[in-house]
Structure 1
Amino acid sequence: MYPVYELSKDQAQNIIAIQESFLNDIKAKEIKPAKLSETISAFANAAGGDVYIGISENKADGGRSWDGFDDPEAANDVSHVLFQAHPFGNHLKFEFLKSADHHGYVLHITIKKVKEIVKSSSGDIYIRVNAGKQKIDTPEKLKRLELDKGIVTFENEWVEIPLKRLENSVSIINFLINVIPSGEPKTYLDNQDLLKENHARVSGILLFCDNPAVYLPKRCSIKIMRYRTKENDIGREFLEGTPLTVEGDAYNLIYSAVSATKEIVERIGKLGVVGLENIKYPDETLHEVITNAVLHRDYSIVSDIQIRVFDNRIEVESPGKLPGHVTPNNILDTQSARNPAVVRLINKFPNPPNKDVGEGLNTAFRAMELLRLKPPEILERDNSVLIIIKHESLGSPEELVMTYMDSHDEITNSIARDLTGIKSENIMKRVFLRLKSRNMLEPIPERKGAAAAWRKPL
């Protein structure tokens, strides 16, 4: 028997009004269980999600109403068919919702994202796209899904290449000197199953070719761009100079990209309590986020990693969705390596970039917290993962304003927005009004309009 939860009138109304999206769906109780299994397949093969069964829609006016099952047993066919299609059901959680203001029980199914491919009861495969589902009906679509979920990995593909590009590379020689001083490059590469006649695995090229971009163009470089703006809607008019392209084997690529990004960031000035001060992000955060992008990106996608440096944040965008069962919500608590050979072998390098395997992003989050900065934000897009490192303090806006006032006679709305990261003039004004209500600040009477400013009460 699945748990039953009583909802208030407002909570029930929120369920009725829920917006169908990539992560949410509603169904009438009359839906055929076999048809529902297609939706379950689509969610499990994408990012997971929630389905509410027992919400009817009026096609005439688009209205909705709560129209649940008469009792929990009336939904037995649903769970029976789903467990026939998915015997273990590790990705499914069932519960019933009821409300005194509405008739019947709504069945709420939570679907987890899982690494294996989940089929419908008919054996077909679906994936969630926007607020609908798409059938995986070609070998190409199935291969793309397998790559997205990390079932197969592009790092094992063979690429034609002159073998001396690996056997005589600076990378393999430096590696062996530090790891196996008496080792022979060809012997080591053969033992790691990275070579065959006139071919090398992608993982071998990434790690041991001095310039892998020659053989894997648009897959193994990093583009670094500087935008002189704080806005989200950006155009080329904000781009400063020419984007920097960083290349090299994966080990040097990480360290070079971190160094180049730090150099750009340290030239940015930000208004602080005592005037302009240099922006500083924790070294650990930049290192771990860029390492994560290089080691876990999807190398089957023809696109470089992008690092975008703004006045108030850094964005690191890595090609490919999160692998396996990993989601933005559980990424700090779980592991799923899309490129296990790259992760394993780069950890053997001296001073490996992934010293604590599996702890990288946790380290990045802790470093931001120690500097009293907001934690990184992780977003999964259609074909990439975006990590945003904001230069915004964990302190409340009121705290930041009053700290500023300890060493200044006045503060304007514009200065306060720079300090707090608040973009809206009206939202900032409400912060001032809250401080006024506590007799901590007052408006300067003679300063009106664009010149308006605030001071401590005289």
Structure 2
Amino acid sequence: MSLEGQLIDKKSIRAVTGKTADWTELAKDCVAFATAQGGKLLIGIEDNADLPPADQRVDVALLDTIRKKISERTVNVAILPAIVSADNGGQYIELVIQRSLPVPSTSDGRYYIRVADSSKPVIGDEILRLASERSALPWETLTTHQVPRSRIDNTKKQKFCTAIRASDRVKLSVKEKTDDELLEHYMLARDQYLTNLGILCLGRREDRAQLGVAPVIQYIKYDETGQKVNKIAWDDFSLSPIEMLEAVWNEVPDWRESYEYPDGLYRQKIPHYDEVVVRELLTNALVHRPYTQRGDIFIKLYPDRLQIVNPGTLPLGVTPRNILHTTIRRNEHLAKVFHDLKLMEREGSGYDMVYEVLLAQGKQLPEIAEGPDHFEVTIRKRIFNPRIIDFIAKADSIYQLNQREKICLGLLAQNEAMSAFELCKSLELPDATYLKPWLDKLVQTGIVQSSGRTKGTMYHVSPELIKRLDFKATTTLKDIEVYRLQELVLKDLSKYGRAKISDIHNRIGKEIPRRRLQTALAKLVDDGVIGKQGGRKATAYVWLGNL
């Protein structure tokens, strides 16, 4: 059974039966799914279960009740309920909610959107954004410019059809289509005209220019003083987005620059900006930008960082805080073209791969910021610890880590030790319960060790593994044992007599998480070993031997 997330949610059978039925809540979830990508509600399976109760049976009449109740409480929402028998013999309702092109809402005028595993309200200016992004017909499929098929660029068309037929991501039945049928399959043409997407990808230069929103990319390089030292622009509309991706990578000489590190008898090259990372960020800029809004894509290269600025805000429901786990398609058909041409990863895995590559190279995570009419991604050039590169490669070869585990191990190796709270923040997870698929194997195999409880639990790479893989980690107090931390506090107070927590923190080690220090101080106070005076910001801790 699938886990709850962007496309699936589970609900108890009590949500639609008897006095516990909550039709308003069910209608809200249906609207949220219809607004995003559609999805399924599995009614009759509890949140913490994979299967319904073995003896559970569903009355067929309940399907009609659900249809009636949802239709009364929603607008522009289409549902398809069906009874499904699980492997254990129990029955549940699979409620399929179709994605709605007109903006869906509840009957009392409320709007919701599915974000990860939650149904979030859409309020204020977001409603206007939702309406503008959800026109009855997507921009990609419109033929408003009336460009006939005969004006297609035959060279681009031939390259496209050849690449599609060579792709292992395309079904055989699609590969067997004629060239004209392929154009219609990928929404590049309709009837006798090229669609906007067709003009964008396969049209002639002059027709692409007349679209008014075809992408323009500007690469600008700055020196240490902030002065421009180089500029390359792709602004003559001769290239499709597919060709622009290749042109930017091939024509910017700075992508070839790299660090060199000794690796035994050889030297290892680590690029300043990895090709996988650059291509993925450029692909996102080209595929997910709003093609109803003008604006150039800027690639800004500074001495210490790379910054990609994209016109338009993130799709509604995606924020810098949830971009790692949330996927909302803005240009569905363009994304399909890029995916089938193997120019982008499967849906939802792009930023995961960026995280994995950066951490495996000992670099910081990407910094994502959203402005009123743009969003930008910043990649830092600096490598914090070159030894992390070899360490993660060796750990992966021994334990065959998956992508999430490599990301988590990279974070811990880079930071020496992290609390559950810090990991959740870095991985954009709601709380510590979501860490299980990221950490379970690492802890079970002994790669990572833990101490403490709940969100204050500290995780660090196993000292034995560090020694075995010859990882030269720095000595840190981040994961110091509680009794040793208490000894440090007592030694500090015995010397100074009375001190605030900030002064103690500065003296014994700023890298120690403040929460751990607070816990240690509270325990010493409770045990009567030290005293506590004052309140709030004036609180001070006292060495009782001086009283």
TM-score scaled by length of structure 2:
0.42
Greater per-residue helix proportion: 2
TM-score scaled by length of structure 1:
0.49
